[in-house]
Chain A
Amino acid sequence: MSRLSEDEKIQPHWWRKSLIGFFMGLSFAYALVAIFAWFGPGGIDVPMKVQFNMWIISLIWLSIMCFIFMFRTALTAFKALLIANLIAYTLFLTLRWTL
């Protein structure tokens, strides 16, 4: 395996990556759970589903916090989560106002 140049290696960017994971990861987790809550099995009215939804938010969020440091730079992390958020929220809002 050829050695990676300095630019190709993961840049630390600890604070920026942590903050991106914290805020954008949380909003992404809510987006996924929102889609699941309204359009997942059982729909919005099934009893106990609200508790399940609440539990799952933190699982998605924590997983994102774990893997946010895999991004090479804070900027790539930001772009990736921005796109993920945009897709998830667009999907949710579209479904919510069309169905």
Chain B
Amino acid sequence: MKIRADVIRTYQKVHTWTGIISGLFLFIGFYAGSLTMFKPAIEQWAVPKVQIVAQTPIDQIDQLVVKATTEFEKAKQGFIIEFNENASSMKWYEAGGGRGLRLDDELVHASFNENQQVETQQATKNELGTLIDQLHRTAGIPGSVGHEDLGVLVLGIAAGLYFLALISGVIFLLPTFVKSLFALRKNKGSSRFWLDSHNLVGVMSLPFHIIIAWTAVVFAFHDPFYAGLSVVYGDKPLFERGERSEHIYQLNELPKIEHYINTVKTIAPDHTLKSLDFSGLDTQSPSVAIELQTQTQMMRGGYSDIIFMNPFTMKISYSSVLNEQSSAYAPIVKTFFGLHFGNYAGDLGRWIYFIMGLMGAFLFYSGNLLWLEKRRIKQPQQHKSSKVMAALTVGVCFGSILGVVATLVATKWLYLFTQVINASYLYIYYCIFIFAIIISFVKGAAFSAIHLQRLIAYSCAAIPFTSLLLSQNSDAIEFTPSNMTLNLVASLFAIFFYLAAKKTKQRALTGDKNSVWALDNKFKEKQAEYIAVK
């Protein structure tokens, strides 16, 4: 395909600039997003068994609700009924609750003991899964603007630039598209290899990337978009307002749990019930959020569909479950969400999204490396910008990964000492992340790339070792099939990063000594030694 040379040059520039600005934010967004594909498995890994109380049989839940709501003040306001065998049947918030991320939410788990008395256990809600999700959405940038996280807005802008980078990348790749797409030239130097794999990954997963970029922009900026749209709509309201009921219902008017189960069966026959979340029971606007799951259809949320209704009148105020009355637009909009969350093909779909997400992270990492290669000059002193970018790339990418892996390792060990560990996750992550960036600037990209990758390898290896060591301590750990997978995946990453560190070291010692990836003169003796051994 022939394209004018000036068009190609223009879009090469667009690609470079949008890519280099947004790449590091997107790297974190993508690899952390991959992890959120298995948020339940991570939560299961993070939460010790002691925090879950015995299950209450379905036919006794109504009695449990009656007793708990008479005995406990907070349960009168609202409570959650879970239909998952790995969770406590009933719980409520003693502190916190509602939307948003807090580190000090206190959950009370309740069940019946042998004497049909309510037995409770209070624990701080573990937020590791939510924190990884937060990292995915904000790239770890703290702070908020209005009621939106600053990080979400920054990632929204990065996603917009990323959309431009994708299209411009395709435009300037078009002329050589067919010829070099599947060429993975290993013998033409490392920069060729990076370029070929960058192009291959980018083109092969292009639809995925376009969807992710666009949806991320919408997720970040839906409020301003709606604000603009309300001008277009004029006097028409964008959304119906929820109505308040005239009087406050009494708790004993609450229908039995079976009634909800049957209602859900008729509204959503293809879904299974996950949980009922009652709130505001003592107010004029009581609500129950019904979470539902399906393995084979698009879902509106990451892991579930949701129906909001008045728990006393069963009047639905919002439902993401499609039915005959849904307009033609409902499934389309739902598809946009489902395509971002990768929730429409069960575990297989999640694994595919997991791998695609990691390939996306690779795309940004390799993109930055290509930029550095292009700017390499044949003299000992490289451009300052090259050094800075190399240090940032290594520090941010590997620092962030190391921080997350360290929290995953630490969680079980911390629970041996205390039940209040959410804040520790943040300390561990940010300390390691900042330390990695400082080390990269002080010691150079080559040194830190080698050692950070090694540290990641050791930390990943520490996950299966933690499982082994703490399996003796039956309180702190619960082995389930999903934890075995987590151990296996951690082991694979340990091997991968160990080999990558080795490769990086090899290049640092034997590659072009002017590159930002070369270790400096102090290591020259070591180099001689290394070559001699080889």
Residues of chain A touching chain B, judged by Cβ–Cβ distance below 8 Å, are: 1, 4, 9-10, 12, 14, 30, 33-34, 37, 41-42, 44-55, 57-59, 62, 65-66, 69-70
Q: Contacting chain A: which of B74-82, B162-170, B173-181, B414-422?
A: B162-170
A66 near B164 (CB under 8 angstroms)? Answer: yes
B10 near A58 (CB under 8 angstroms)? Answer: no
Contacts of B328 in A (CB 8 A): 41-42, 46
Contacts of B217 in A (CB 8 A): 58, 62
* CB closest chain-A residue, reference B215: A55
Question: Considering the chains assembled together, what is the distance between the CA atoms of A45 and B7 in angstroms?
Answer: 43
Q: How large is the interface on B (under 10, 10 to 19, 20 to 34, 35 or more residues)?
A: 35 or more
Contacts of A9 in B (CB 8 A): 6
Identify which of residues 155-211 in chain B touch chain A, using a CB-to-CB cut-off of 8 Å: 160, 163-164, 167-168
Question: Considering the chains assembled together, what is the distance between the CA atoms of A44 and B160 in angstroms?
Answer: 28
A33 near B229 (CB under 8 angstroms)? Answer: yes
Please name 12 further chain A to chain B contacts, defined as beta carbons within 8 Å, in addition to the given A47-B330, A54-B225, A69-B14, sorted by A numbering.
A9-B6, A10-B9, A30-B228, A30-B229, A30-B232, A37-B232, A37-B233, A46-B328, A47-B326, A49-B327, A51-B333, A52-B329
A54 near B160 (CB under 8 angstroms)? Answer: no
* CB closest chain-A residue, reference B2: A1
A-B pairs, top 6 by smallest CB distance, nearest first, are: A9-B6, A66-B167, A34-B232, A48-B329, A52-B329, A48-B330
Contacts of B523 in A (CB 8 A): none
18 contacts between A and B (CB under 8 A): A4-B4, A10-B9, A12-B10, A37-B232, A41-B328, A42-B327, A47-B327, A50-B233, A50-B238, A50-B239, A54-B218, A55-B218, A57-B225, A57-B228, A59-B214, A62-B164, A62-B213, A65-B164
Q: Is B221 an interface residue (CB 8 A)?
A: yes
Contact flag A54-B226 (CB < 8 Å), given A48-B327, A48-B333: yes
Q: What's the minimum C-beta distance from B348 to chain A, rounded to whole angstroms? A: 27
Q: Is B244 an interface residue (CB 8 A)?
A: no
Question: Considering the chains assembled together, what is the distance between the CA atoms of A69 and B228 in angstroms?
Answer: 26
Contacts of B532 in A (CB 8 A): none
A54 near B14 (CB under 8 angstroms)? Answer: no
Contacts of B233 in A (CB 8 A): 37, 44, 50
* CB closest chain-A residue, reference B322: A48
By secondary structure, the A interface counts as helix
A48 near B222 (CB under 8 angstroms)? Answer: no
Question: Considering the chains assembled together, what is the distance between the CA atoms of A51 and B238 in angstroms?
Answer: 9
Q: What's the minimum C-beta distance from B223 to chain A, rounded to whole angstroms? A: 10
Q: Is B533 an interface residue (CB 8 A)?
A: no
Most buried by B among A14, A51, A57: A51
Q: Is B145 an interface residue (CB 8 A)?
A: no
Question: Considering the chains assembled together, what is the distance between the CA atoms of A49 and B221 in angstroms?
Answer: 18
* CB closest chain-A residue, reference B230: A50
* CB closest chain-B residue, reference A26: B228
Q: Is B13 an interface residue (CB 8 A)?
A: yes
Q: What's the minimum C-beta distance from B26 to chain A, rounded to whole angstroms? A: 15
Q: What's the minimum C-beta distance from B56 to chain A, rounded to whole angstroms? A: 38
* CB closest chain-A residue, reference B17: A14
* CB closest chain-B residue, reference A8: B6
Question: Considering the chains assembled together, what is the distance between the CA atoms of A48 and B337 in angstroms?
Answer: 14
A70 near B7 (CB under 8 angstroms)? Answer: yes
Contact with A along B338-353 (1 / 0, CB 8 A): 0000000000000000
Q: Is B336 an interface residue (CB 8 A)?
A: yes
Identify which of residues 338-374 in chain B touch chain A, using a CB-to-CB cut-off of 8 Å: none
Q: Is B303 an interface residue (CB 8 A)?
A: no
Most buried by B among A9, A42, A66: A66
State which of B164, B167, B229 has its C-beta within 8 Å of the C-beta of A57. B229
Q: What's the minimum C-beta distance from B323 to chain A, rounded to whole angstroms? A: 12
B336 near A55 (CB under 8 angstroms)? Answer: yes
Identify which of residues 3-30 in chain B touch chain A, using a CB-to-CB cut-off of 8 Å: 4, 6-7, 9-11, 13-14
Contacts of A53 in B (CB 8 A): 229
State which of A14, A47, A57, A65 has its C-beta within 8 Å of the C-beta of B160. A65
* CB closest chain-B residue, reference A72: B6
Question: Considering the chains assembled together, what is the distance between the CA atoms of A60 and B430 in angstroms?
Answer: 38
Contacts of A47 in B (CB 8 A): 326-327, 329-330
A62 near B160 (CB under 8 angstroms)? Answer: yes
Question: Considering the chains assembled together, what is the distance between the CA atoms of A45 and B13 in angstroms?
Answer: 44
B163 near A44 (CB under 8 angstroms)? Answer: no
Q: Is B147 an interface residue (CB 8 A)?
A: no
